[in-house]
Structure 1
């Protein structure tokens, strides 16, 4: 299968954990490193960060893996947010990245938070776009319990049902963006390819199984959020219908060194929906002594 490679990026494959990780990278290897962690569903590194490689690589070493269960990474069992955080650490050590700024969107933002909590010595700063892990449950109690019950169904049933090709891609895109027409055509095409990939839903299913408990979220990080010492930029679209904004507001208020930027007329994929604003904020943040 032909996979999307963003402008300015180069593809590498790294042997890790008995499998093979596709890593998109750009920039000088001696420059300050930035690790990019993509989101869930039919996402991968090329989709979430399509617009970021070229401008960011002018000043930084950019590293963006496909997480286990996503994209072209193979042979590694996918897991929950803590396992994703530990995977990022092992990959960073394997690639000799050193202490890095970690930028994550949605599920990847939660992985970045877990990395900062579990392995603070590896994180210089955080950039979080609509991060998960900041709400106690999904909707009301009835909705949460119903969602939990669905995640308990056998994988043999859930994976084929969830992997229905690109039948629902248009619906999914409308859920994550404020204006689908602003997305680059190569990104939309890659989402379709990812949706058609066999067992493409397994990574996101395993994440949900680890994160969602019977009565509440197992991955709720708010009680621990003050332990994130790394300087943090939270970037949110005000029209995000998937991830409640209140979680990011509370996290920014509790964290020792964090600020929240909200953007009107912008959805869940704020780094794509409002790319120019996102790039300005990230460039400014990285220039404030958080290289």
Structure 2
């Protein structure tokens, strides 16, 4: 059983909190995990299970997320990066490992650029380095449904915007991930006081992916079929970071952290402990289910008679 502590902090008058699970015998710096705009400190059990024996695992309700205080009007990335720096200071460690996924990848990248000396290693997944005008318009329409109280339509639109629905491209656990994502979005829409504001900021307060985090070891990984920002665009983003690695995870889309949760956690554990990435399970395609053999009409008729 890991020792768990939750610490309350504030930045620029906004309250927030982080949760720390202490490893009995850590072999690397604490791992701070940042997720999507609607994701809080209790959304990463698979990372805790895999990384817990190797490092302290830190998750957070940053300002404007989870149960933290609301963000003030105006651009938020600077304040969120300052909150992350407060966490690093409060952990009382010189450096951390930083894992950012989706919206959290933008925050993690901004923080690494701002204080590269505090970041030992940087892992970025599902990086929204490019969004089209059509994507932004779809998100605006989804936000409109949320503002009018139509949580169901909002949850469906956001879920479909974040997933690859092309049946010609195989995505493992697609149906399961789709149900989980929609249920999570529906819960956030109905229960999170920050849902509408977080979505609005994700649309208008876009992260700055220019520049590079000087001297920070960086891994960028993408689902093979990510339709938010394609794997090729994420590969191009990674190529701008000197010495970085890029990996595409087969048979997944933007929700790679759900569809191959254990494999992504294993990939992160290898990266944060300087282990080999080439043989990581996340790089091996998932065995595809074999469809049942088609039955002849005669067999089908016999079966129907037997059932009756």
Give the structure-2-normalised TM-score.
Answer: 0.72
Q: Equivalent residue for 1:77?
A: 72
Match in the other structure for 2:187: 193
Q: Distance in 1 between matches of 2:24 and 2:111?
A: 22
Identify if the C-alpha distance between structure 1 residues 267 and 145 changes in structure 2 by more than 3 Å, giving closer, same or farther: closer
Q: Which residue of 1 aligns with 2:101?
A: 105
Aligned to 1:37: 34
Please, which runs of 5 or more residues in structure 1 have no aligned partner?
1-6, 212-218
| Cα distance, 1:265 vs structure 2 | 1.9
**Max radius of gyration: which structure?**
2
From 50, 53, 57, the equivalent of 1:62 is: 57
> Are 2:116 and 1:116 aligned?
no
Distance 1:234 1:56 in 2: 18
The superposition leaves residues 140-190 of structure 1 with CA deviations (integer Å, 9 ceiling, x where unpaired) of 5xx489689x69xxx9x89724x6434433443344354454449887655
Q: Highest relative contact order (Cα 8 Å, sep 6+), 1 or 2?
A: 1
**2:209 — aligned with what?**
221
Structure 1's 20 and 10: CA in aligned 2 closer, same or farther, altered over 3 A? farther
Paired with 1:122 and 1:30, the residues of 2 have a C-alpha distance of 21
- Tell me the distance in 2 between the aligned counterparts of 1:240 and 1:181: 16
What root-mean-square deviation, in Å, do the aligned CA atoms of Structure 1 and Structure 2 show?
3.4
* Contact 2:4–2:22, Cα closer than 8 Å, also in 1: no
| Contact 1:80–1:209 under 8 Å retained in 2 | no
Counterparts of 1:245 and 1:82 in 2: how far apart (Å)? 27
2:252/2:259 contact within 8 Å kept: yes
Give the deviation of 1:271 after TM superposition.
1.6
1:125-274 equivalences under 5 Å are 125-132=121-128, 134-135=129-130, 138-139=131-132, 143=134, 160-161=147-148, 164-177=150-163, 178=171, 179-183=173-177, 190-197=184-191, 198-211=193-206, 219-222=207-210, 224-225=211-212, 227-274=213-260
Runs of 5+ unmatched residues, structure 2: 164-170, 277-308
Q: What is the Cα deviation at residue 220 of structure 1?
A: 4.4
